Amino acid sequence: GIRDVFSFEWTSRAWTRLADLRFPRWYPTLLPLGDGRLLVLGGQINPTYWADTPEVYDPATNTWTVLPQVNTSDAHTSQYLFAHLLADGTIYVIDPDSGRLRLLTLATQQWLDVGTTSMRRVSAALYGHDMLLMTGGRSGASTAPAQTAAMVIDLTQPIATWRATTPMRYGRYMHNLVVLPDGRVLVVGGSTIGDTGADGTQSVLPTELWDPATEAWTTLGPISTPR
């Protein structure tokens, strides 16, 4: 991993060097917070050691602050941890490798376990008001076929639980979910089989659109370049 940090200004198309991370990181998760700061979770320092202490960047002071009471040593994933900022400021974190689900409260630097999911290497998106959609992935070995499964959870409920919703038309692994301005979710890319399909030979070209009002999927035009 490296510690370099840069900011891109799209109007001038210029890059600016910012303060270095406190820890080198490869494949960290970067999450904007509600107050303009940014949270960094996870990542590898090198192939043997991990950056298990999260840190927060403050653009007003161009400084990083470590969170020593938060530890991600039990969430070593070769993929990004999926982190979603909820309306009350807590952060919902999905470990794509273990399926572990947790809530992080930054003010107290405390983790709360909220269960696990049987789906692995999923993709996820926060839509509406504290609603999460989780799709695809696989349930077995890296050579297992990609799943069509889709799950949703309403995190505004006192006891929030995941439930199955209408599955996708295509099994997908390592795909992207894009929340559109009208609340619908666009699904792009992915492969039909686990890690062995990541070279593009098993790519899913058709795109799909999920409507949270009906929980139905619509197949759209295909992408031209495999992902």
Q: For 63-110, what is each residue's pLDDT tens digit? A: 999 999 998 888 888 778 999 999 999 999 999 888 899 999 999 999
DSSP 186: E
Is the entire prediction scored with pTM above 0.85?
A: yes
Q: Which residue has the tokens 């927060």?
A: 56
> Which residue in 124, 136, 222, 223 sits closest to 173, CA to CA?
136
**pLDDT, mean over the chain:** 91
Are residues 175 and 135 in contact, defined by beta-carbon separation less than 8 angstroms? yes
Q: Which of 14-18, 97-101, 138-142 has the highest mean pLDDT?
A: 14-18
Q: Which two tokens stand for residue 135?
A: 């799709």
Q: What is the mean pLDDT of residues 7-19?
A: 95
Are residues 120 and 146 in contact, defined by beta-carbon separation less than 8 angstroms? no
